[in-house]
Amino acid sequence: NAGVTQTPKFRVLKTGQSMTLLCAQDMNHEYMYWYRQDPGMGLRLIHYSVGEGTTAKGEVPDGYNVSRLKKQNFLLGLESAAPSQTSVYFCASSTAGTSGGNEQFFGPGTRLTVL
Amino acid sequence: KQEVTQIPAALSVPEGENLVLNCSFTDSAIYNLQWFRQDPGKGLTSLLLIQSSQREQTSGRLNASLDKSSGRSTLYIAASQPGDSATYLCAGSMDSNYQLIWGAGTKLIIKP
Q: Give one DSSP letter per residue of B25-93, joined into a string.
A: ES-S--SEEEEEEE-TTS-EEEEEEEETT-SEEEETTEEEEEETTTTEEEEEE-S--GGG-EEEEEEEE
**Kind of pairing between the strands at A10-13 and A110-114:** parallel
Share of chain A above pLDDT 70, in %: 96
Residue of chain A whose Cα is closest to the Cα of B107: A40
Confidence of residue B57 (pLDDT cuts 50, 70, 90): very high
Q: How far is B99 from chain A (nearest CA, A)?
A: 8
B 68-97 residues with CB < 8 A to A: 89, 91, 93, 97
Work out the average pLDDT over A3-16: 96
Chain B positions in Cβ-Cβ contact with residue A31 (cut-off 8 Å): 97-98
Write out pLDDT tens, residues B75-109.
999 999 999 999 999 998 877 666 788 999 999 99
Work out the average pLDDT over A1-16: 94
Contact B45, B38 (CB under 8 A): yes
Query: Is the pLDDT assigned to residue A40 strictly greater than 80?
Result: no
Which range is least confidently modeled, A21-30, A42-51, A81-90, B15-24?
Answer: A42-51
Confidence of residue A78 (pLDDT cuts 50, 70, 90): very high
Q: How far is B6 from chain A (nearest CA, A)?
A: 10
